[in-house]
Amino acid sequence: MSAHTPTRRLTIRDIAAMRQRGEAIAMLTAYDATMARLVEMAGTDMILIGDSLGNVVLGHETTLPVTLDDMIRHAAAVKRGSSRALLVCDLPFGSVSGPDAALANAVRVMKETGVEAVKVEGGLVMVPVVERLVAHGIAVIAHIGLTPQAVHQMGGYYMHGKDEASAARLRQEAKALEAAGAFAIVLECVTPALAAEITHALTIPTIGIGSGKDCAGQVLVINDLIGLNTSPPPSFAKPRADVAAIIRAAVGDYVAETKAERQPIPLPRRAE
């Protein structure tokens, strides 16, 4: 490829083709231009600007305080750092209170960031939302299982689909969201056996997180992948590096060198 040949950005048609030929889909989060460029250079197919930025960037305990303005600011930065990966922006808590609100907020995200798709959390209640967005030309990824925006209503973070009632509900939600027009579905903390079953029942790709290895793809929070945390990552995330340790060591060396190289500088004498 010529150095002057423009890079073609992946589309939802490319993602669908990957599912059809059985090629796994690699997805990661990014929240700024530099990280977007790095994960894309490493071959990531899709980048999620996740509302997880509330936890790993903004310091909140949950994703609930994240605003639409927060998402737009970070998604626009990711867009500026990216040229190939398909970009997906989370619609945060409170921005999808119904089809009309969801459409207005999704349109704003698309116009102000340049991403290719949005992601919405929730099951059957999100079916009319997905239908409305898709009808207006907006590509949508659905998200079921553990949905962090509903953490308080769910009563915490735990594995979903363990009992038959929960499993039946997730099967129904997945099929309904596919029929509504979602081009992919995130399965978060769904039992691996059920995640595999849902994956084989759908023609659109499932993107797992904490749901085993039999989904069509996987997404992780980039900080969990590279060990850029000050607290332990989720049990399903296996850090491939310890970037936090590298930062601590580099900053420690800098601080020690700065203090060692500089002698005390006396204050100027006051005029008598």
CA distance 124 to 224: 30
- Nearest residue to 7 via CA among 120, 103, 97, 85: 85
> Encoding tokens for residue 156?
């915490």
Q: Is 188 assigned a catalytic role?
A: yes
> Encoding tokens for residue 28?
């990661």
SS3 230: coil
Please check whether residue 122 is in contact with residue 147, taking contact to mean a CB–CB distance below 8 angstroms.
yes
CA atoms within 13 A on the CB side of 252: 6
Whole-angstrom Cα Rg for the chain: 21
What are the Cα distances from residue 188, in Å, to 75, 84, 161, 172? 22, 25, 11, 16
> Encoding tokens for residue 225?
């992948």
CA distance 109 to 122: 19
Active-site pick, 188, 257, 261, 272:
188
Task: Please identify every residue annotated as catalytic.
Answer: 188
